[in-house]
Structures are given as structure tokens and as C-alpha cells.
Structure 1
């Protein structure tokens, strides 16, 4: 796969899946617009990507829950590159708690980040993607399809994101724009540290989750990046409205 002369915008690019995806596309000669809230991390990833093929990414520090920031992301990307070919909606947060022990603050934060920001950014990007006959890849989760008593708001947001993927795919198909999602299972990223577990609790959590996975291994970020790259490429030109599970078989149980 080669993305020379393709402009790829990746949100949540400063760490985890987003960073791995940025690195993957940089090796395919893509022109990158990298979005993240952690400026120092974002600059490090941008520098690493630049070394791959010499293409200097556009690094934009932004909070996508802020409508002004979301608009600035699209405006600066188009001003810098002149077009947009691929939108990777990857930014997301986890919120702990079920209906008995959550809060509206947690709910609002999860929905604002995982769903509303995706909706708004995609709406802003759509006219440009129609012009380029581009595509969208959303980072969802196996949680969209598996109930949990621990992460109610998060699961709801990802289930809604899958439906968003399908509806937008149906709407934009006549315009030549493809829309898909990837639904990872357990991935060991910094996102897990944000749920408030101690290191010991986190290790026990990881051990239990991996132990219940049929393949007995966590999903690697570079595997997910490769799947995103495939779905964004011409090799997937007939694929739209699909949710691709990459979960070590977890959805089988």
C-alpha cells in the first residue's frame, strides 16, 4: 500500500493506537495531519513520522470537544495541504461506572469525546472528503457489542459510533466516500491508566482479560494500525459500512 500524495488526518495521534497509526501511514509516504491534546507527545510522534519518508507532518494541539478547536483542525489541514483524503476518528476516553455508581459528569465527558466530537469533525470534513472521493475510519471497540457493568457510558458511546459508521456510510456512498470502523479488543495502551487503577490492579486486570481471550494475547497497536491502513487503501475500495473486530477472538465468547 502506498499513500503518496494522500492527506491523512488522525485524531488522538499523540499516543496508543493513534500514534501507531500515524507511524504506519508515515511509512506509506502519507502527508499527515496529527491531532492530539498532549503537545509534547504529539511533537515526538510527528518527528518520528518525519524520519520515515521525509514528509513533515502538520501537528495540531487541540481539544476536539471544543467546537472551535475542531473547526480549526479542519481549516488548518486544508490550508496547509489543500485537501483531505482520509479521516481517522481515533480520539477517545474511558469512563468507569454502571448505572448505580456513575455520574453525569462521566457520561457527558465520554459522550462529548467519543461521539459528539466525531459527529462534528466528520461533518466539517465531509465536503472535503467528497471532493477527494476519500474515506473515514472510526476507532470503535468490542465494547460496542458486549455489555458490561463497569463501563456503561463507554459501551454506549461505542455502540452509537458503530451505528454512526453505518448511517454515514449509507449516506456518503453515492458520493464515493467510504466509511468503516475498527473494533479492537484488549489493547495495552496509556488509555487504561486513565481509569484510575493502581499498577497492581492494572496488571491483574490485564492478566484476567488476556486469560479469557481465545488467542491468549493482547492486540498490538501496530496490528490495528495495519487494519486502519488497509481500510483506507484502494485494496478496500468495495468495503463500506463495516465494523471490523480485531480482538483475539473475544467476541466469540
Structure 2
């Protein structure tokens, strides 16, 4: 496989989509740096990666992407000697109407979902040029469509999509590809961490049967499979793309 021996950074690897992405890369034979703030959860992801591939070479970096971007890149390159793929997955979600949300929410979400991606990309780019590697950003259907009471999150993901396209053009002359995946509702902890109660989350998943054309919400592995595709040579002629992994949600309109 084209990913065997490649060095991959996955941010937000301690849970949800990021953990699934890290496991998929490990299974594919890549050497993976797992980045997250929760060391205990990172170790759980490490165990899953080892279960997928007992020979997997892994590096755990407990870090906050908003302040540790340069350290993340440097420690990975120091450990493995190169960098082939950067997966910008770490992100946060919060809700609120413009009449109620605070400036602090805006700053926090943009800092994590956009500014940290900018920093990681900036520090990673010279290494990716050397390997003619690539970047996969984990965006959201919220970057493609508008939803009420989610304005800051939607804005951060729309900006991430445009950043993806612009950096794809910046780096194309160096043969570095840059793409994004745009998941719909995926069964992860991000919704309960954003403040949903267990009952609200259950109702939200039930609603997903109607808001996604395929009649269900998605699983983390389905996003991970798409990330693997974009990172591998199978996508060698794809750059600047935003790929919905959303069961058709982006194509739907309310009746």
C-alpha cells in the first residue's frame, strides 16, 4: 500500500473520528503520531492501533493544538525523520443564537478550528514539500450548509474549506496535495461534550434518519476510510477538494 512507512500526524486522536483515523492509518502500515489533550484517551487509541497492527510505530504527544503546533511538528519529525501526511482533525463545537453567544465562544472555536490548523499547516508545509506529502482537513457539512444556532461553528468550517482550497493552490507547484472531508452527523462524543444531554443526543440521532438522505447517521470508520483514500496515492490527482461524508445531507433542502 502507498501508506506503508509513511509518517502521519493525526490531531484530536484521543476520541471519535480522530481515533478511528489513527487506527486506520496504523492498520495501513503508516507510522502515526497521535495528538490529543487527554493522555488516558490517547493510550486507549494507542491500544486500538496496536490491536489493528501489532507492529505499528506510534508516537503519543499530549498537546493542545492551539498552543503547541510547532512542538507537535518538531517532535514528530525528530522521532521519525520526516512527515508525509498531516490530518487536521481536532475541533470543538458549541451552540448558540447570535443574540446569546459570547465573544469568548467565537474566539475559542475559531482558535481551535481554524487558527490551529493554519499554524500546524505552516509548520508542517516545509516537511511535506520534501516528501511531496499531503494534508487532509476534517471539516463538516456545516462548512457547506447553514444551520441555526451554530453560526460560529459553521463559520469556522466554511473558512476551513476555503483555507483548504487556497493552500491546495499554494502548494500544488510543490506537488503537495490538500483536501478536506466534510462529515455529516457521526456518532461521536462531540455533541455531548458541546452540552447535549443524553436525551437530547438520542433525539438528535433519531432526527438524523430524516436529515440524511441515506436514512441514518454515520460511523467514525466511514470518515476514516475517506481520509485514508485522500491521503494515499489512490487520490494522486485530487487536490483542493471538499468531500462530503454525510449520507447526502449536503444535497437536501427542508420541505
**Distance in 1 between the 2:236 and 2:20 partners?**
23
What is the number of residues matched between the two proteins? Answer: 251
Q: Which runs of 5+ in 2 are unaligned?
A: none
**Cα distance per residue 1:2-53 (max 9 Å; x no partner):** 4211001000001001000011111111000110011101012112213414
Aligned to 1:93: 92
Alpha carbons 2:94, 2:195 under 8 Å: kept: no
- The alignment partner of 2:29 has SS state of coil
Aligned to 1:186: 185
Aligned to 2:10: 10
The list of structure 1 runs, each at least 4 consecutive aligned residues, that deviate by more than 6 angstroms after superposition, is none
**What TM-score, normalized by structure 2, do the two folds share?**
0.96
1:63-142 paired onto structure 2 within 5 Å: 63-66=64-67, 69-142=68-141
**Distance in 2 between the 1:101 and 1:164 partners?**
28
Alpha carbons 1:95, 1:107 under 8 Å: kept: no
- The alignment partner of 1:240 has SS state of coil
- How much has 1:174 moved relative to structure 2? 0.2
- The alignment partner of 1:165 has SS state of helix
Alpha carbons 1:6, 1:31 under 8 Å: kept: yes
Q: Which runs of 5+ in 1 are unaligned?
A: none
Aligned to 1:60: 61
**Distance in 2 between the 1:5 and 1:106 partners?**
40
- Cα RMSD between the aligned structures? 1.0
- Asked whether 1:36 is paired with 2:36, we answer yes
**Distance in 2 between the 1:184 and 1:242 partners?**
14
- The alignment partner of 1:60 has SS state of strand
Aligned to 2:23: 23
Alpha carbons 2:14, 2:36 under 8 Å: kept: yes
**Cα distance per residue 1:39-69 (max 9 Å; x no partner):** 1010121122134141231000000111xx1
Alpha carbons 1:46, 1:56 under 8 Å: kept: no
**Distance in 2 between the 1:172 and 1:2 partners?**
21
**Distance in 1 between the 2:71 and 2:34 partners?**
13
**Cα distance per residue 1:95-119 (max 9 Å; x no partner):** 2112111111111110000000000
